[in-house]
A and B are shown apart, each in its own frame.
Chain A
Amino acid sequence: MQPGYVSPVEPSRSEQEAKDLQGRLMQVSRLATIGEMAAGVAHELNQPLAAITTYAQAGARLLERSDPAIEDVREALRQIAAQAMRAGAIIRRMRSLVRHVEVERRPTDLNALIEELAELMETDARVHGVRLRFELGPGLPQVMVDRVQIQHVLLNLLRNALEALADVPAAERAVVVSTALGESGEVELSLSDTGPGIDPEVAERMYDPFFTTKELGTGLGLSVSTTIIGAHDGTLGHRANEPRGASFFVRLPAA
């Protein structure tokens, strides 16, 4: 190899390395988000388990009687089966989120993508005592996105909103997830909370990697989300919510 000659392979290899690194970072951030949600999911799983335990014990009690009411026992068994199915569905939802898939962009209906995640988001919100509302705009154009990545962004924004509501009185804790058509034909997704709003000092640094206000945060959520949305030729930003709180928005070009 002659001095001064740079193999065309070289830059592309480091480009590949950077891409790999970014991929791993996204994976770490995604798992961290899922980890944060695990506590909520555990709580949610505990509900059907509690119901199953109670029905089973009541059923056993009924059978101990000299003249057991078989119809009641049958009802207990039916309820046990229904609650077990419910527990299974919770686990399936979680697993579909953890499964690693190749990045793949497809024309996607953003509302459908949100609805797919709605139950999991509601679980998370419920555990935090937060009311979650969806205001999905009708007739939006499709967007060219990787489902898992956009869902990751959505969950990140939700987790931030829930965190921001921790010190707000329970009756006032609310998050609204909305979609609408933007001025230049793009699709806008926003998450608005009724929290205290964003401290200007925090606002300056919150998109930086490893900056976190959470006790156990990785500081990757917003920076990785920004990267993901940037890679989709979209923008991620925030504004004040009326009358109070913060609103984060994602704008994605129509497919």
Chain B
Amino acid sequence: MKELKPTIFVVDDDEGVRNSLRFLLKSVGLSATTLASATEFLTTYQPDQPGCLVLDVRMPGLSGLELQQQLNLRGAIIPVIFITGHGDIPMAVEAMQHGAFDFLQKPFRDQDLIDRIQRALAADEKNRAALRERDRVRARLDSLTPREREVLDLMMRGKPNKVMAAELGLSQRTVEIHRARVMEKTDASSLAQLVRMVMDSGQVPDTK
């Protein structure tokens, strides 16, 4: 998979504010893409693009809060740092409730913004790594045969081989072979790791 360089997106309808932020970020060696409206961002943003979004809450047309909702609907995981004007605190609270990474009130200390951006970039990288890992695990789980999947489900519930053999109508020896194949295909080093992997992948078997 191609690794994209993280980008800091700055969306603010005020040209002065927008340019000053680009200037500041450039002065500390961070490159930013600036956009004048939420709609512009929505039409250009690719969800697989890592980075973070510095977003003005209050804008004509699509507001910052509405953009956040759109991103949530699309399942975009980009961390959002809201910048708010004076008296926009209720909006900032709403933004945080909808999963905003952080918020800052204009005007702010440059270091506060830079710190938050760096934390957001780190969080984004971590989230994307976790997602990649989840996809890998899912692919491994998908490679299991239906029979191996049945064995895995019983392993998840802590059933001993003997019980599994009885439930599946197989010999203990066959169960052992399937079990070894499951461990091999999922690349799990222990039952405990296997259980955690399956839980993290979100593909937990139905408890019967």
A residues sitting closer than 8 Å to B (CB atoms) are 39, 42-43, 46-55, 57-58, 61-62, 72, 75-76, 79, 82-83, 86, 125-127, 129-131, 170-171
Contact = CB atoms under 8 A, between A and B. Distances in A.
Contact of A131 (B17, B23, B61, B107): B61
B14 interface: yes
**What class of interface size applies to chain B in its complex with A?**
20 to 34
B19 A51 contact: yes
A51 B14 contact: yes
Contact of B20 (A58, A86, A127): A58
B20 to A, nearest CB: 4
A227 to B, nearest CB: 33
B62 interface: yes
Interface of B: 13-14, 16-17, 19-21, 23-24, 27-28, 58-63, 66, 83, 85-87, 106-110
B66 to A, nearest CB: 6
The interface residues of chain B, by DSSP majority, are classed as loop
The interface residues of chain A, by DSSP majority, are classed as helix
Most B-side CB within 10 Å, residue of A61, A75, A125: A61
A54 B87 contact: no
Nearest to B12: A47
Contact of A170 (B27, B66, B83): B66
Contact of B16 (A39, A47, A171): A47
Given A55-B24, A170-B62, 20 more contacts: A43-B85, A43-B86, A43-B87, A50-B20, A51-B19, A51-B20, A53-B108, A54-B20, A57-B110, A58-B23, A58-B24, A61-B110, A72-B23, A79-B19, A79-B20, A83-B20, A129-B63, A131-B61, A170-B61, A170-B63
Given A54-B21, A130-B60, A39 B66 contact: no
Contacts of A61: 24, 27-28, 110
B63 A57 contact: no
